[in-house]
Structure 1
Amino acid sequence: MKIAIGSDHGGYLLKEEIKKHLIQKGYEVVDFGTNSTDSCDYPDFGYAVAKAVVNNEFETGILCCGTGIGISISANKVKGIRCAVVSDTFSAKMAKAHNNANILALGERVVGKGLALEIVDAFMSSEFEGERHQRRLDKIAKIEQKYLK
């Protein structure tokens, strides 16, 4: 499985830990930056990962910033992206199982390394349950059609 990963400076250290963890688990990981803790703008990296995921170049994405919020908002501006900012394993599972999230967002200043890796594992091991949940995603898609042109 190919995973796109990105962060701003506030999520850089966590992104590096997650990247190493995923590679050790056998995933193919492509890093969209940033490459240091120097100040930069999270929309640039949220958009780059979201674009790659929505264009089916990658099966999923993982984004990090200080809280996970800003970078997830940026990613969610891309039509077809369902990026969930998560800080616990149950929410990570449900983001995929019920919402078919295609990008996970984490906050380096919110979750520690150990919990972050557990969250990533929970997200990666979960699958979309479909059925009644698809009906809800179809409604979200209609909202996108109306407002994200």
Structure 2
Amino acid sequence: MKLAIGNDHSALAIKAEVIEHLNERGDVELVDVGTNSPESFDYAVSAYRVARLVADGEVDGGILICGTGVGISLAANKVHGIRACVCSEPYSAELSKRHNNSNIICFGARVVGPEVAKQIVDAWMDAEFEGGRHARRVAQIMEIEQTQHLSC
């Protein structure tokens, strides 16, 4: 699996731990879009970089980390075709993939610790989209994105 990972300045330490964990898993190729500096960095930049790689099919998915996970997920979701979900525990991360076919997982460096972050990433990576009734719902989400309407 090939993943892109990005962050703002608040998430440097937790990103390093997540990268180490993913390297230990051995089943992931990572593209780190930054930042790798403690200087103030706008999360929207990393969100856009990761989301573009995912939307363009250059990577299979993405991981985004900012202070809360909220801002970076909002920015990523502005890119057509992205379903970025902010999760603070593994169960929601798993279901975001199984039910919503999320293609980016987000979390907050100020919300979760490194061990929970690793569990979130593992749960998301190990889950598979179930399709079925969930495919219809994901299609509805994409219809709203494309047309700004939902045929009900």
Normalising TM by the smaller chain, what interval? Answer: over 0.9
Kindly provide the CA deviation profile for residues 69-91 of structure 1, in whole angstroms up to 9, marking residues without a partner as x: 00000000001000000001110
Match of 1:145 in 2: 146
Q: Cα RMSD (Å) of the superposition?
A: 0.7
**Segments of 4+ moved more than 2 angstroms:** none
Q: CA deviation at 1:118?
A: 0.8
5+ residue gaps, structure 1, are: none
Q: Could you say which residue in structure 2 is the equivalent of 1:35?
A: 36
Deviation at 1:131, TM superposition (A): 0.5
Structure 2: which 5+ runs fail to align? Answer: none
Asked if structure 2 preserves the Cα contact closer than 8 Å seen for 1:62 and 1:105, the reply is yes
Q: Normalising by the residue count of structure 2, what TM-score does the alignment of the two structures yield?
A: 0.94
Q: What is the distance in 2 between the residues matched to 1:38 and 1:116?
A: 23
3-state SS, counterpart of residue 32 of structure 1: strand
Find the aligned partners of 1:125 and 1:94 in 2 and give their Cα distance: 11
Partner of 2:56: 55
Distance, in Å, in 1 between the alignment partners of 2:99 and 2:6 is 24
Give the deviation of 1:45 after TM superposition: 0.4
Match of 1:15 in 2: 15
Structure 1 length as normaliser, TM-score?
Answer: 0.96
Percentage identity across paired residues of the two chains: 52
Alpha-carbon distance in structure 2 between the residues aligned to 1:37 and 1:96:
31
